[in-house]
Amino acid sequence: MQQYKVKPGSKVDLSRWDPNDTGEFKDGKETGLAEVSKLTARLGELQELLYAEGKHKVLVVLQAMDTGGKDGTIRRVFSSVNPQGVHVASFKVPTPEELAHDFLWRVHKVVPGKGEMTIFNRSHYEDVLVVRVHNLVPPAVWGKRYDQIKDFERLLSDSGTTILKFYLHIDLEQQKERLQARLDDPAKHWKFRLGDLKERQRWSDYMAAYEDALSKTSTRYAPWYIIPANRKWYRDLVISRILVETLESLDMKFPPPEEDLSGVVIE
């Protein structure tokens, strides 16, 4: 899965990353789905271990264009985890209270504690993406945020947080198909907003903003992964595998019992 990791200091050109890539799974979707099933089950086991040990913290960041698949990723990749130890944080338009503080204030409040896994559905990166594209603050302000974000993530890492950041990479045609599917299905109308069409017209501006964010903030302690996401099953497979490999590398163990249980008999 290292082929999808953005090397620190490298310059990202998203046109060189194929959103239709399916890696070694040339046999197609059915083989891939079987692998996803195994990986998500294993992820559930590892998350239980994470929660029981109560030592590590895991932060998963999901970023994508509209229809990129953030909700679907959360629904499928994390289908086997225990909600007791997993939290999802979604970042909408900042409230007046949030705007009265620095841009990371609302983010720092919801990072994971020991034994927890937190998933960011969008994140602090909106402040160098939508803020930049819509000129909500001057370039002199958002331009400083790349280093501020790296410092913030280093603080989290130094405090025991494992950080994984996933950019779900779809192309313009795939977005069109997914928006059309929402428009055609009355059950999905609640997800369709006319504003999405206006954002679509800014596609090239968003690609430039994402390329800068991915290039400037992928670090050893908080790497970015560019996930091919036109094929939903392969998106889920890649993310699941990276999560499983990362959690297994933590070498977690169940804690010993608080009391001696060797003589216990249940009658």
Question: Residue 37 has what pLDDT?
Answer: 97
Give the pLDDT confidence score for residue 243 in this predicted structure: 98
Q: List the domain boundaries for the chain.
A: 2-249
Could you give the 3-state DSSP secondary structure of residue 117? strand
The predicted structure's pLDDT at residue 26: 74
What confidence score (pLDDT) does residue 25 get? 85
pTM score over 0.85: yes
Neighbours of 38 (CB within 10 A): 13
Residues 6 or more apart in contact with residue 6 via CB below 8 angstroms? 12, 214, 215, 218, 223, 224, 225, 226
pLDDT at site 260: 81
pLDDT at 261: 79
Q: Could you tell me the CA-to-CA distances from 125 to 53, 120, 167, 177, 231 in Å, in that order?
A: 30, 10, 11, 26, 24
How far apart (Å, rounded) are the C-alpha atoms in residues 161 and 191? 33
How would you classify the pairing of strands 86-90 and 117-121? parallel
* Per-residue pLDDT, 213: 98
How far from 3 is each of 77, 170, 228, CA to CA, in Å?
20, 17, 11
From CA 4, how far away is CA 238, in angstroms rounded? 9
Q: What is the mean pLDDT of each run of 10 residues along the chain (267 residues)?
A: 95 97 84 95 98 97 97 97 95 94 97 98 97 96 98 98 98 97 94 92 98 98 98 97 98 88 84
What's the pLDDT score for residue 1? 82
Residue 226 and residue 17 in contact, taking contact as beta carbons nearer than 8 Å: yes
> 2-249: what fold?
Rossmann fold (3.40.50)
- For the stretch 27-74, pLDDT in tens is 778 899 999 999 999 999 999 999 999 999 999 999 999 999 999 999
